[in-house]
Amino acid sequence: MRYITEQELRDAFADGVKPGFALPTDAKLTPAAREYLADLRVYPDMPEGNPAPGNTTGASPAALATAATVAPKPEHMTHLTPGELVLKTHPRIVLRGRLDTLEAEILVLQVAAAERGETALTAPLTDALQLTRRVLGSEVSGKALGGWTLGGMTPQAVHDASHRPQAYGFAGHVLPDAAQGWAAAQLNRLRALCREAELAANLAFCDGAGGCSRVDLVLALNRLSSFFYVMQLQAIQRRG
């Protein structure tokens, strides 16, 4: 008798949860492996008894992930992590939705700007899209965001330009207005959508006492919304 470990199961499901899992007749699951399958809502037929762990070598990952039973995922729930189901109203899932919307709107503006010959928007929008995707990837993986720039500007430079526009060659702060033109209006929309994503990040990771577990994500979204404002100022300036 041998035991199948959690790591063997992770290897078996490396490309996603398969249609099922068949436990070999000569094997049992370690407690950690059993818990891992329960988290994935995969329920194999298992023999009775619980002998002491023995040799864990044997079936390959491909053989482990053959035929099995996977409990259907409720439609009102989704995976926060591969092993954790949560309601779709979970704050982090809401944040992912906001980031998804922001990414989609940046892409729409990229296409429209290219069709209108607004080439000045190409590079900065690419930077904004890449940072949005990095924020989403960092949130999902739990890994630190790391360093970044926008339009060649550091986070501090973006902050300064958005708060002291005169020091960066702009006439001053502006309120959105139709007379500022198409590009400025589109960038103001991205700024507002990014602000919504930032607020969602605060709700997901920050508490009422002032603590925040993902300051890197909150700061990045704050600066990204400020960057869209700086781009708005640039668009107004180009329009003359």
* Same domain? 98 vs 63: no
**Contact of 122 with 214, CB cutoff 8 Å:** no
| 128, 150 Cβ separation under 8 angstroms | yes
Residue range 63-70: average pLDDT?
44
CA gap 33, 53 in Å, rounded: 12
pLDDT (0 to 100) of residue 45:
47
Residue 34 pLDDT class (50, 70, 90 cuts) = confident
pLDDT of res. 13 = 73
Average pLDDT, the chain: 85
61 and 8, same structural domain?
Answer: yes
Among candidate residues 114, 130, 94, the one with its CA nearest the CA of residue 186? 114
My answer on whether 99 and 174 are in the same domain is yes
* Number of structural domains the chain divides into: 2
Same domain assignment for residues 98 and 64: no
* Phi, psi dihedral angles at 86 (to 5 degrees): -135, 165
Supply the range of the domain harboring residue 62. Answer: 2-72
Let me know whether 60 and 110 are in one domain. no
Residue 228: inside a domain? yes
Q: What is the pLDDT of residue 95?
A: 98
| Residues 55 and 97 placed together within one structural domain of the fold | no
Q: Which of 220, 62, 74 has its CA nearest to residue 154?
A: 220
Please report how many Cα atoms fall inside a 13 Å half-sphere around the Cα of residue 15, on the Cβ side.
5
Percent of the chain surpassing pLDDT 90: 62
Residue 92: predicted pLDDT? 96
Pair 95, 65 in one domain: no
Q: What are the tens digits of pLDDT across the range 181-240?
A: 999 999 999 999 999 999 999 999 999 888 999 999 999 999 999 999 999 999 999 998
CA dihedral 73, 75, 77, 79 (to 10 degrees): 50
pLDDT tens for each residue of 146-156: 999 999 999 99
Q: 133-176, pLDDT tens digit by residue?
A: 999 999 999 999 999 999 999 999 999 999 999 999 999 999 99
> For residue 17, is it within any domain?
yes
Percentage of the residues of the chain whose pLDDT score is greater than 70: 81
The pTM of the whole model exceeds 0.75: no
Check whether residue 214 and residue 180 sit in a common domain: yes
Residue 137 lies in a domain: yes
Q: Are residues 128 and 195 in the same domain?
A: yes
Among residues 97, 103, 92, 88, which one has the least CA distance to residue 206?
A: 92
